[in-house]
Amino acid sequence: MRYAHAALALGLIACLLIVGCETEALPTQVTIEIAQTIAFITQNAPPAGFDQGVRFAPIDRNLERLPHWHTQLIIRFEGFLAGSTQPISGTLTAEIFSNQLSGERRVVLRAEGDAFAIAEGRNVEGVRIGNTFYFVDQNGLCSVVTDDPNRRRVAELTVGDLIGGVRLAQHTYGRKTERKMALWQYGFLPSDIELPLITPTQGGSISILSGDLWIAPSLNAVADYTLTLRLESALVPIFRGNQQLSGTLTITYSLLESGQLYNIAIPYGC
């Protein structure tokens, strides 16, 4: 038997070295499943320039290159003050309208819920027309902003200021059309997320429960971004200042429109 194995080995070596021993190659078999997978990848691949990863930090990066746009950001918290069993919740909504070329901008902020330590909802508004800034307070009173940087900051607020962005994301072959935009889906790692206004305290933590990112290559901009976080003893200054929070924080950002000229005027009363 040992000699038979040796003879077989020598025969195989001979076939590798001597052309006359070549065996006929078998054709590669392409299954229906493989063909369907290849077709799916080809049909759903993003355009050139968006197939090797994208970077949107801040998340509203490149909007300044669009002439007109309207975005919405919703940040919602449900949970507790750290060390308490009394539930609290709150929602901050920011809507931003921009006529980029003419330097016109309108930002509307709405805060609701006891997470803000307020009894009822409040709205404030900031408007910029050229180099003049206006502020409408929670009582609906309008004033021209001169020396107060906080009031001026409302009209200059960006989504990236509040929620940061994604340093790197890779396409996942998801594709859809919404709001007249062709969108591609991207995935990202927790380590690639920037969260400028959320800080864990000593012994606290921030965990990513879920996230989703859709890009509009035609605009080179983020169309939709959602993120759900689990907070343990974390600071979120827009909710309760320097008090620690534990619970669930949900972030939803959308580019609602682009290319439409908006009627941004001096607020009533100014």
Question: What CA–CA distance (Å, rounded) separates 72 from 96?
Answer: 6
Low-confidence stretches of the chain (pLDDT < 70) are 1-44, 119
- Res 83: pLDDT: 83
- Map out the domains of the chain as residue ranges: 56-258
Q: Return the sign of the alpha-carbon dihedral for residues 167, 171, 172, 174.
A: positive
- Res 117: pLDDT: 74
Question: What CA–CA distance (Å, rounded) separates 197 from 249?
Answer: 12
CB 74 within 8 A of CB 242: no
Both tokens assigned to 209: 């429960």
Four-CA torsion 140, 142, 145, 146, nearest 10 degrees: -120
pTM: 0.83
pLDDT tens per residue, range 35-89 = 445 444 556 678 899 998 999 999 999 999 999 999 999 999 999 998 888 899 9
The DSSP string of 172-223 is: EEEEEEETTEEEEEEE--GGGEE-TT-EEEEEEEEEEEEEEEEEETTTTEEE
Tell me which amino acid residue 225 is. Y
Cα–chain-centroid distance for residue 227? 7
Residue 85's Cβ-side half-sphere holds a number of Cα atoms within 13 Å equal to: 0
- Res 147: pLDDT: 78
CB 266 within 8 A of CB 127: yes
Question: What CA–CA distance (Å, rounded) separates 216 from 62?
Answer: 11
pLDDT tens per residue, range 9-50 = 434 334 343 444 455 555 555 565 554 454 445 566 788 999
Question: What CA–CA distance (Å, rounded) separates 114 from 120?
Answer: 8
Q: Return the sign of the alpha-carbon dihedral for residues 110, 112, 117, 122.
A: positive
Q: 25: Cβ–Cβ under 8 A, 6 or more apart, which residues?
A: none
CB 141 within 8 A of CB 270: no
The DSSP string of 10-21 is: HHHHHHHH-GGG
- Res 148: pLDDT: 85
- Res 65: pLDDT: 96
